[in-house]
Chain A
Amino acid sequence: METVPKGVLPESLVWMTPDRYAVAFWEAAAEHRLVVPRCTQCGRYRMPPSPYCWGCRSRDYELVDHDGGATLYSFTVIRHGVIPDIRDVLPIIAGVADLDGTNVDGTGAARLVASVADAEPENVHIGQRLRIDWYDVRDGVAIPILRIAE
């Protein structure tokens, strides 16, 4: 296993309970691919994966490969551990990222919520460019993390 990024959840807290619409997202994640559901009727994106397009209510969608470019929409620097298991990895910077090209109708982008890894809190600010990277948690399991783009 590679080095664990700084400021991410400990391995013991990373497990998912995907429903049948989210399975493909996590399978792609394991291969370090970001896929985002896009409605094939109206072109709107949505996150997380779900059965309906919130805009046109169509159930037809495709999973689009995304290049991982994003902009920081908001964040918090978690300094207090509400459970003992995370106290050793604090601070965690939890970021909300607007995925490039997903704000189709102008109401807002599809968002990815993930840790901003290996970053100092004072260097993180809303509007900065990010790229999606991956944290290999264990065999067959990877979760997205955010990195400040150069």
Chain B
Amino acid sequence: MGERTLRDRAAIVGVGATQYYRRGESEPQLKLELVTTALTAALEDAGLTLDDVDGFASYAGGADTGLLAQWLGIPEVRFTANLTGGGGGAAGSLGLAAAAVATGMADCVVSFTAIQQGVSRFGAAFAKGGGAGTYSAPPMNEFDFTQLSGLMAPGQMFAVLTQRHMHLYGTTRDHFAEVAITQRANAVPRETAIMRTPLTRDDYFSARMITDPLCLYDFCLECDGSVAFITVSPDRAKDLRQPPVYVMASANGGAGRWGQAITWLGMPDEYFASTGHRPVAQRAYEMAGIGPADVDVALFYDHFSPLVLMQLEDYGFCGIGESGGFVADGNIRWPNGSIPVNTHGGNLSEAYILGMTHVREAVEQLRGTAVNQVDGAEIALVTGGPASLPVSNLILHR
């Protein structure tokens, strides 16, 4: 038996996406049509066809593999998996695909997500009886112990973690503003981005507060769309259309007592004001055989700007509690910061497709085709959302 690792045993060879829509604007297309559009584009990018596909590794798209395969006449499905969780799995779905390819369970695996928020609005994910256009959470015993406080949206819950971080470490809204403004600057030149007007400090501080300490610009966008990827073995990748991007590592999971996290709020003091990513960060770095200093570009899932700060800590780019000063020094800016972050504009300013746009940006950076290209980028880190367990990540190299 060989070394038990995913490292260099799978490669991403195709990327495809729908256009990114504002919430509701992808209708009347069906959600599964968004998937097929992205999937077809990814296969075209790779130089493969639907007859080559034999695996599906999705994330929270709610897409039924059976229906997708039935629609498309996939010759034989040999692997299908969906990463569980409540926001943390985008990057990890590529890990599932790599695991399937590395173990020979399948040869050509599609990873994808799709989202249509006109139908189901994540901004009210835990609201009861919200009516049309919102997501009414299924009744659940555990939610009674948080929801009755008034908490019914992810942003409100992450605001609680953020407030604690500010209390412990002196983090300020200026630090959140640096994240929002930097990412907006990255989105401005991009045709794919929804928000293309520069954001000023005045804009940020005059925006309405949504849930203290978060204001409007600390929140991600609400979008529709789909992004898909094709993963094959390194041998197969050699003959395809694009330069392969290799999977160095992927991890999903987290500490057991991170658990339901934001819908629980009982996490231990040690990591309450964190992203829940410390265990998976450690595991991914070990698998990849690298540390944070080796990463050229970081694509951090940014549903809320303070969570970018906390990921900088949890992934070791600065010490725990030191992210505020770290970003204030310009470290996350493209192109001159020590670690350019969310060069595509992220969920805050490009589009919110459940974090799959971050994987797309990582692949483009490593192919050397990114709009905001990091010179000589060789290694990219991608994370799934800080959320309930599992959280996930992906490290890629060219």
Do A77 and B211 contact each other (CB < 8 Å), given the known contacts A13-B129, A47-B266, A82-B124?
yes
- Shortest Cβ gap from B177 to chain A (Å): 18
Q: Nearest A residue to B127 by beta-carbon distance? A: A83
In angstroms, Cα B267 to Cα A64, docked, is 21
In angstroms, Cα B181 to Cα A37, docked, is 46
Q: What range describes how many residues of B lie at the interface?
A: 35 or more
**Would you call B141 and A19 a contact (CB within 8 A)?**
yes
Q: Nearest A residue to B158 by beta-carbon distance? A: A76
B264-286 at interface with A (beta carbon < 8 Å): 265-270, 272
In angstroms, Cα B147 to Cα A15, docked, is 10
Q: Nearest A residue to B125 by beta-carbon distance? A: A82
Q: Does B318 count as interface, using CB distance less than 8 angstroms?
A: no
Chain B residue contacts of A79, Cβ below 8 A: 208-212
A44-84 at interface with B (beta carbon < 8 Å): 46-48, 54, 73-80, 82-84
**Would you call A74 and B141 a contact (CB within 8 A)?**
no
Q: Does A3 count as interface, using CB distance less than 8 angstroms?
A: no
Do A76 and B159 contact each other (CB < 8 Å), given the known contacts A48-B141, A114-B149?
yes
Chain B residue contacts of A17, Cβ below 8 A: 139-141, 144
Do A78 and B124 contact each other (CB < 8 Å), given the known contacts A96-B265, A107-B270, A113-B145?
no
- Shortest Cβ gap from B129 to chain A (Å): 7
In angstroms, Cα B212 to Cα A112, docked, is 20
Interface string of A116-133 (1 = CB under 8 A from B): 000001000011000000
Say which residue of B208, B213, B265 sits within 8 Å of A113 (CB atoms): B265
Stretch at the interface among B75-83, B87-95, B160-168, B369-377: B160-168
In angstroms, Cα B211 to Cα A83, docked, is 14
In angstroms, Cα B141 to Cα A143, docked, is 14
- Shortest Cβ gap from B217 to chain A (Å): 13
Candidate in A7, A8, A111 with the most chain B CB atoms within 10 angstroms: A111
- Shortest Cβ gap from B64 to chain A (Å): 27
Chain B residue contacts of A77, Cβ below 8 A: 209, 211-212
Q: Does A92 count as interface, using CB distance less than 8 angstroms?
A: yes
**Would you call B156 and A94 a contact (CB within 8 A)?**
yes
Chain A residue contacts of B139, Cβ below 8 A: 17
Q: Nearest B residue to A105 by beta-carbon distance? A: B268
Do A18 and B209 contact each other (CB < 8 Å), given the known contacts A74-B164, A86-B150, A126-B164?
no
Q: Does A149 count as interface, using CB distance less than 8 angstroms?
A: no
Candidate in A19, A21, A48 with the most chain B CB atoms within 10 angstroms: A48
Chain B residue contacts of A30, Cβ below 8 A: none
Chain B residue contacts of A31, Cβ below 8 A: none
Candidate in B161, B167, B208 with the most chain A CB atoms within 10 angstroms: B167
Chain A residue contacts of B152, Cβ below 8 A: 82-83, 86
Chain A residue contacts of B211, Cβ below 8 A: 76-80
Q: Does B236 count as interface, using CB distance less than 8 angstroms?
A: no
**Would you call A8 and B124 a contact (CB within 8 A)?**
no
Chain B residue contacts of A108, Cβ below 8 A: 266-270, 272
Q: Does A28 count as interface, using CB distance less than 8 angstroms?
A: no
**Would you call B144 and A16 a contact (CB within 8 A)?**
yes
Q: Does A22 count as interface, using CB distance less than 8 angstroms?
A: yes
Chain B residue contacts of A78, Cβ below 8 A: 150-151, 156, 211
Chain B residue contacts of A9, Cβ below 8 A: 148, 150
Chain B residue contacts of A15, Cβ below 8 A: 128
In angstroms, Cα B209 to Cα A93, docked, is 13
Chain A residue contacts of B142, Cβ below 8 A: 48
- Shortest Cβ gap from A9 to chain B (Å): 6
Q: Does B24 count as interface, using CB distance less than 8 angstroms?
A: no
In angstroms, Cα B268 to Cα A83, docked, is 31
Do A76 and B163 contact each other (CB < 8 Å), given the known contacts A13-B129, A17-B139?
yes
In angstroms, Cα B266 to Cα A107, docked, is 11
In angstroms, Cα B144 to Cα A21, docked, is 13
A95-117 at interface with B (beta carbon < 8 Å): 95-96, 107-108, 110-115
Q: Nearest A residue to B151 by beta-carbon distance? A: A94
- Shortest Cβ gap from A130 to chain B (Å): 13
- Shortest Cβ gap from A133 to chain B (Å): 13
- Shortest Cβ gap from B160 to chain A (Å): 5
23 contacts across the A-B interface (CB closer than 8 A): A7-B150, A13-B128, A18-B144, A73-B164, A74-B161, A76-B163, A76-B212, A78-B156, A82-B123, A82-B134, A82-B153, A85-B129, A92-B150, A94-B160, A96-B160, A107-B268, A108-B268, A111-B265, A112-B145, A113-B146, A113-B265, A121-B212, A126-B163
7 shortest A-B CB distances, which residue pairs?
A92-B150, A76-B159, A17-B139, A77-B212, A82-B124, A74-B164, A48-B145
* Extra A-B contacts (19), CB below 8 Å, given A115-B150, A121-B212: A8-B150, A13-B129, A54-B257, A74-B160, A76-B151, A78-B156, A79-B209, A80-B209, A82-B134, A92-B149, A92-B150, A94-B149, A94-B151, A94-B160, A96-B160, A108-B270, A111-B266, A112-B145, A114-B149
